[in-house]
Amino acid sequence: LSSQGNKEDLLRERTLAAESYLRLGYMDRALTELEQALQESPTSVPTRLNYALALQKLGRSQQAVAEYQRVLQVDPRNITALVRWHIAMITTVGAAGAPTLEGLSRIRWQLRGEGQKRYGSVVREYNQAAEAHPNNANVHFALGQIHQQAGNYDKAIEAYRLAMRDSAVDVLARVSSAQCLLSQGKPDDAIQQFEQALQTVRRNATGSVDPSTWAA
């Protein structure tokens, strides 16, 4: 028991040290502490989450994604892992389309299931991503979806406005914005957004919006 207690104390100390290094921006030091902590306790979810975050901040995105996936295998409902995995996918790995929209749907479903109580922390993660990647339309679109589900339509519409700058998500952002406007009792503004979305679809009749993206 004494040995077990010492092990837990050591893990706690390493985790606290790593979190301090993460906050101060000493990613290499954080990584060293976390690697040692994981050797001692490979099943610790908080430690693995911090480890993945350090990897992500060091630009080792593929490794970070793999670590988030390992957390999700053990704890499929871990919304922090899900959100950070999604952010890594859309900002650095460069994934887009149906797989990332499915990931976003999982996040929204998870938030709904928890009665939106994690809304604030999820928004914080995406806001940080938006600050780091201001021109990433997928981040703004995700933020819009999270706000829309919570009924914060003004914030959602603003996020969609930023997402519309990118033709890849323009149509989805306009349709979602129109839905917010309808919820606010502004049918004329909503119709305008729907019409612009339709014009874009007609203009790109060769299929700029993948059918699997619509399905997601």
Instruction: Read off the tokens for 100.
Output: 């990332």
**pLDDT tens, position by position, 161-199:** 999 998 889 999 999 999 999 999 999 999 999 999 999
Supply the Cα-derived Rg of the chain in whole angstroms: 20
Pick the CATH number of 8-76 from 1.25.40.10, 3.30.930.10, 1.10.3720.10, 1.50.10.10: 1.25.40.10
Residues 191-201 as b or e (16 or more Cβ within 10 Å = b): eebbebbeebb
d(CA 135, CA 119): 23
Give the CATH H-level superfamily of domain 99-216. Tetratricopeptide repeat domain (1.25.40.10)
The reply to whether 99-216 shares the fold of 8-76 is yes
pLDDT in tens, 121-155: 999 999 999 999 999 999 999 999 999 999 999 99
CA angle 187, 210, 131 (to 5 degrees): 70
Q: What is the pLDDT of residue 18?
A: 82
Q: How many other β-carbons are positioned within 10 Å of the β-carbon of residue 8? A: 12
Return the minimum-mean-pLDDT range out of 77-81, 114-118, 139-143. 114-118
**Res. 1: pLDDT tops 50:** no
The answer to whether residue 5 scores a pLDDT higher than 70 is: no
Q: 37-49: per-residue pLDDT in tens?
A: 888 888 889 889 9
The answer to whether 38 and 47 are in contact (CB under 8 A) is: yes
Domain residues of the chain, as ranges? Answer: 8-76, 99-216
Selected residue with higher pLDDT from 108 and 43? 108
pLDDT at 69: 94
